Chain A
């Protein structure tokens, strides 16, 4: 089975600064999707950004961008101009073409005013 590893249990960033959350995954497949989800204290899962493995261009969504390194099986999330509302748990996820979807253990992001 695929595995997803988030090596940073907790991260902290100053408001308006930039932070990068790390994610690596293990797979033998070539076609898959990668995601970053945000889970605020309400525990509702919110999609932050997605990346299709066949696309070389890194995905961006406003202040959120990824660094997708397919050969290294790395998928980091960069949050620019951090805001207080960005404070949450962030989960990296992998899904293959058989709809098998796995998550990492999560990174708790704290934003300091």
Chain B
């Protein structure tokens, strides 16, 4: 089945550790995205990528890093510089007419 897969669904990390969230798609989409969702703030754009080896910062890129070495994969690293990393993270890929979303990763930093 075609789709977009985020893993893991729940992730726990200790404060000060870097953590990488996985996002894979087999839809052959060029564009991919990472969003952060906090209560009452909707989806805020962290990074997006239009093609392989290219990506642009969104509104809240500080403390995050991404790579796009393959069309199918767009991993997000939450670094120790991110002051408040506990949140729900959504990955998406898109064609012009629609964006498709993964099921999300709930990251909790303790």
Chain A residues with a Cβ under 8 A of chain B: 1, 6, 9, 33, 35, 43-45, 47, 50, 91, 93, 95, 98-106
> Contact at A103–B35, with CB atoms within 8 Å?
yes
Q: Contact mask B81-110 → A, CB, 8 Å, 1/0?
A: 000000010101010111101011000000
Q: Is B11 an interface residue (CB 8 A)?
A: no
Name the A residues within 8 Å of B35 (CB-CB).
103
Q: Are A103 and B42 in contact (CB under 8 A)?
A: yes
Question: In the docked arrangement, what's the CA distance between A93 and B45, Å?
Answer: 11
Shortest beta-carbon distance from A104 to chain B in Å: 6
Bound Cα distance from A105 to B59, whole angstroms: 14
Sample of 17 A–B contacts (CB below 8 Å): A9-B40, A43-B88, A50-B98, A95-B99, A98-B50, A99-B31, A100-B56, A101-B31, A101-B92, A101-B94, A102-B45, A102-B59, A103-B35, A103-B43, A103-B44, A105-B40, A106-B42
Chain A contacts of B88 at CB under 8 A?
Answer: 43
- Taking CB atoms, residues of chain B closer than 8 Å to A47 are 98-99
Q: Do most interface residues of chain A lie in helix, strand or loop, or is the interface mixed?
A: loop
In the bound complex, residues from chain A placing their C-beta under 8 Å from that of B90 are: 45
Interface size on B, residues (CB 8 A): 26
**Contact indicator A105/B41 (Cβ below 8 Å):** yes
Partner of A101, one of B30, B37, B45, B104: B45
Report yes or no: B50 in contact with A99, Cβ–Cβ below 8 A.
yes
**Chain B residues in contact with chain A, CB under 8 A?**
30-31, 33, 35, 37, 40-45, 48, 50, 56, 59, 88, 90, 92, 94, 96-99, 101, 103-104
B56 touches A105 (CB 8 A): no
Minimum CB–CB distance for B30 against chain A, Å: 8
Tell me how far the C-beta of B79 lies from the nearest C-beta in chain A, rounded to whole angstroms: 23
Which residue of the partner chain, among A1, A33, A106, contacts B96 with CB atoms under 8 Å? A33
With both chains docked as a complex, state the minimum distance between the C-beta of A87 and any C-beta of chain B, in angstroms: 17
Contact assessment for B42 and A91 in the assembled complex, using a CB-CB cutoff below 8 Å? yes
